[in-house]
Amino acid sequence: MKIIRVGLDVPVDQLFDYRCDDAQDNDVGRRVLVPFGKKTQVGVILGIAETSAVPPQRLRAAQHVLRDELPLTADDLRLLKFASTYYHYGCGAVIMNSLPVRLRRITSPRHIPGSYALTAAGEAADLNQLPARAVVKRRLLALFKQQRSLDSATIRAVAASAPGALKQLLALSWVEPRDSAAPPSSTTDVPEAVAGPPLNLAQDEAVRAICARLDGFSAFLLLGITGSGKTEVYLRVIDAVLRAGRQALLLVPEIALTPQLDAMVRDRFPGVALTSLHSGLNENERLAHWRAVQSGGARIVLGTRLAVFAPLPQLGLIVVDEEHDASYKQMDGLRYSARDLAVVRAQQRGVPVILGSATPALETYYNAESGRYRLLELPQRINAAPPRIDCISTRDQKPADGLTPRLLAAIAERIARGEQSLVFINRRGYAPVLMCHACGWLSNCHRCSAQLVLHLRDRQLRCHHCGHLAPVPVTCPECGNAELAPLGQGTQRVEAALTQRFPDARILRIDRDSTRGRHTWRAMRNQIHAREVDILVGTQILAKGHDFPHLSLVGILNADSLLYSADFRAPERLFALLSQVSGRAGRADIQGEVLIQTAFPQHPLYAALRSEDFASFARSLLAERRQAGFPPFVYQALLRAEAPKLETALAFLEAAAQIGKTLSPRMTIYDPVPAGMMRLAGRERAQLLVQCDSRSELQSFLAAWQGRLAEPPLRRARWSLDVDPLAF
Ligand code: ADP
Ligand code: ZN
Ligand code: ZN
């Protein structure tokens, strides 16, 4: 009897056995339909066996092995299994969740014969040649440009009217019919890359060092301030990897960054198939892109954290840009770090990984200092002097609506010179809270330990944590007083204040509220580049990797709010954020200026920022961490619990701590405490920190502990493990 072991998307870490008479050895990694309870589920075959621990009469039969897609390879599965073990999360769940949604569903997308390919004319055609209202035609052409060829099922999935749009593209000779679906991956004739600028000495050394080691695993930390030419180093190494007939995986922290890098990579490697993988794609695009990657058709893969799991048969290089960025860590479900998994994957596959940043995570920097990673430095901006960074003491200069007179004067100067200014504030909305001065009432969210943010434009109070919405009250709900006042500043309030102060200036606000649409952000970037904007007001989305050549002033409001925080990583994060924002000022030939409004202008963090000295700042933080026993000198895991009542969560954690203490004397187990965000969406949350100076001992402890926590008497709170937690 043939038995298959199947991984399913279920909360228990267990494989399920099924009878499957037609199973073949090469079915491992394929999807299969199996009965589960009263339903049918899609799973992945992880093993084939002759016997099962389940008695034959209870063993159910698998319904159908899905052989229409390429299977996950042993290499793909090895990474997924590692993630399951390391993060203590069910193997089936890890694997199923790594697949595009359409492959997790029962109704399997079919390849329908007939496919179409982009022609040379189509490649040369500009999307903007099509009228803006030809939405479907544009999307279809964009997809063709990504994938080069599409099968008719994929085309039909784009939109109901896609077949009509296809006819028009055929009529324009931008696409043509072809016989076979996926293009055979040609690895031998790689089209020439467009020549880049001649490298400077530091870049040249970095490229040589990496290219000398393309045939095995090594991890490189490419440390260089914004504009020091890191991207150029990636491109050169990618070129070498493509020429060796291999695929390159380029990870970026945010979807917002993909179009920019996408364009840059395409310009450098015309004719090389590039595919993106990120959560902004719709289900059909995800599937089409995934297939292109898996078939080897895509030679360069550009993606956000989820792309770390993409099946790459000929992987030759992984680049993690802005490696310190917190968005590489998934904050729910499988709480993985894509940066860390990228290093593991490179090791498993015997390929190099480049971690690039101006302000690497201290964990990464420490690995470079201690010689586990090779440190490559790009010490200078390519074609700009470093910005002048200065603090404005808010004790001397009282801000009005968050803006000090000196900052306003600096903005006025830029407007007069036709240069752009950026005002950075870490909060969106109008004001972080609404207050009644008569009785002290605050607009709190009734479901979270957070305040409702005032959004004046929509006349709403909004919870940024659970999404709760309420109309702005006319009078105080507690005392009836009619004078409710917004407290503090958000982007909208700063925008309003600037509009009043500079009525003729063109002001653009950029935050998550204003960039919601799929194409809005791109349109805004074009506006900025075309100098149709004088003042930008924005949150961190503006801080990341955007090249604004006409921007010469950055003003930072409210930096202190991040300076003092219970989280030991707060200084590291603030430094990264501020140097990233500062990096926006003055590229090309304009001298940049950065003005930080703070009540603590003497703080060492601001001093380090002024001298752009990450290394000594990092070393002093590392010394503190060593002294205090924080990562990277210890390894941590957080047991998180939530329940309708805080006491339930705390009691569960107390019991868990007791069990933990009996398992290993080597673990430091702290007391259970309420979570930083104690109430969230109506549930109360608490957590328990465990740490140890040995990663492997912590890992075996967690495995044993997790088994014990699953036992019945404890099951009153919902809990999860967070290994290497970043948020507390
Ligand atoms: P980073 O990724 O470190 O922020 P980039 O690689 O984007 O820096 O480089 C910043 C700018 O300098 C880009 O416009 C890039 O084209 C240009 N550049 C990079 N390397 C060189 C070089 N060796 N010579 C001239 N210009 C360069
Ligand atoms: Zn009141
Ligand atoms: Zn809420």
Q: What does the pLDDT look like over 656-710, one tens digit per residue?
A: 999 999 999 999 999 999 998 888 888 999 999 999 999 999 999 999 999 898 8
Residue 564: is its pLDDT beyond 90? Answer: no
Residue 515: is its pLDDT beyond 80? Answer: no
Ligand 1 probe mutation, 359, 382, 544, most atoms within 8 A of CB? 382
pLDDT at site 185: 47
User: What's the mean pLDDT in 27-56?
Assistant: 94
Residue 183: is its pLDDT beyond 50? Answer: no
- Taking the CA of residue 264 as reference, the ligand 1 atom at the shortest distance is 16
- Taking the CA of residue 232 as reference, the ligand 1 atom at the shortest distance is 6
Instruction: Note the pLDDT tens digit of each residue in 474-493.
Output: 999 999 999 899 998 899 99
**DSSP string spanning 165-199?**
HHHHHHHTTSEEEESSSSPP---S-PPPPPP-PPP
Full-model pTM: 0.86
DSSP 112: P
pLDDT at site 514: 78
User: How many angstroms does the Cα of residue 460 sit away from the middle of ligand 2?
Assistant: 18
**Ligand 1, atom 15: closest residue by C-alpha:** 229
- Average pLDDT of the chain is 90
User: How many angstroms does the Cα of residue 396 sit away from the middle of ligand 1?
Assistant: 39
Backbone angles phi, psi at 623, to 5 degrees: -60, -40
715 confidence band (pLDDT: 50, 70, 90): low
- Taking the CA of residue 231 as reference, the ligand 1 atom at the shortest distance is 6
pLDDT at site 521: 75
User: How many angstroms does the Cα of residue 228 sit away from the middle of ligand 1?
Assistant: 6
Query: What is the rounded distance in angstroms from the CA atom of residue 469 to the CA atom of residue 464?
Result: 9
- Taking the CA of residue 583 as reference, the ligand 1 atom at the shortest distance is 4
Ligand 1 probe mutation, 222, 232, 262, 265, most atoms within 8 A of CB? 232
Tell me the two tokens of residue 121: 């004319």
Query: What is the rounded distance in angstroms from the CA atom of residue 443 to the CA atom of residue 486?
Result: 10
Please name the residues in contact with 161: beta carbons below 8 A apart, sequence gap of 6 or more: 136
**How many percent of the chain have pLDDT more than 90?**
64
**725 cis-preceded (ω within 30 degrees of 0):** no
Please list every protein residue whose CB sits less than 6 Å from any atom of ligand 1: 197-200, 203, 224, 226-232, 382-383
Residue 544: is its pLDDT beyond 70? Answer: no
pLDDT at site 517: 67
pLDDT at site 227: 84
- Taking the CA of residue 545 as reference, the ligand 1 atom at the shortest distance is 4
588 confidence band (pLDDT: 50, 70, 90): low
Residue 611: is its pLDDT beyond 90? Answer: no
User: How many angstroms does the Cα of residue 483 sit away from the middle of ligand 2?
Assistant: 8
328 or 155, which is more confident: 328
Instruction: Note the pLDDT tens digit of each residue in 78-136.
Output: 999 999 999 999 999 999 999 999 999 887 555 444 678 888 888 888 888 888 888 89
545 or 299, which is more confident: 299
pLDDT at site 493: 93
Strand blocks (E) in 515-579: 535-538, 551-556
Helix (H, G, I), strand (E, B) or coil at 611: coil
User: How many angstroms does the Cα of residue 431 sit away from the middle of ligand 2?
Assistant: 18
Instruction: Note the pLDDT tens digit of each residue in 421-437.
Output: 999 998 889 999 999 99
CB-based contact 326:299 (threshold 8 Å)? no
User: How many angstroms does the Cα of residue 642 sit away from the middle of ligand 3?
Assistant: 15
311 confidence band (pLDDT: 50, 70, 90): very high
Strand-pair category, 535-538 with 300-303: unpaired
Among 525, 559, 529, residue whose Cα is nearest residue 541: 525
Among 86, 104, 75, 14, residue whose Cα is nearest residue 309: 75
Ligand 1 probe mutation, 194, 203, 231, most atoms within 8 A of CB? 231
User: What's the mean pLDDT in 459-472?
Assistant: 91
User: How many angstroms does the Cα of residue 507 sit away from the middle of ligand 3?
Assistant: 30
**Ligand 1, atom 10: closest residue by C-alpha:** 227
pLDDT at site 182: 45
Of the ligands numbered here, which is closest to the C-alpha atom of 377? 1
Residue 405: is its pLDDT beyond 80? Answer: yes
Tell me the two tokens of residue 69: 């897609």
User: How many angstroms does the Cα of residue 590 sit away from the middle of ligand 2?
Assistant: 51
- Taking the CA of residue 382 as reference, the ligand 1 atom at the shortest distance is 12
- Taking the CA of residue 198 as reference, the ligand 1 atom at the shortest distance is 23
User: How many angstroms does the Cα of residue 444 sit away from the middle of ligand 2?
Assistant: 13
**How many percent of the chain have pLDDT more than 70?**
96
pLDDT at site 155: 82
Of the ligands numbered here, which is closest to the C-alpha atom of 440? 2
pLDDT at site 259: 75
Neighbours of ion ligand 2 (CB under 5 A): 436, 438-439, 441, 476, 478-479, 481
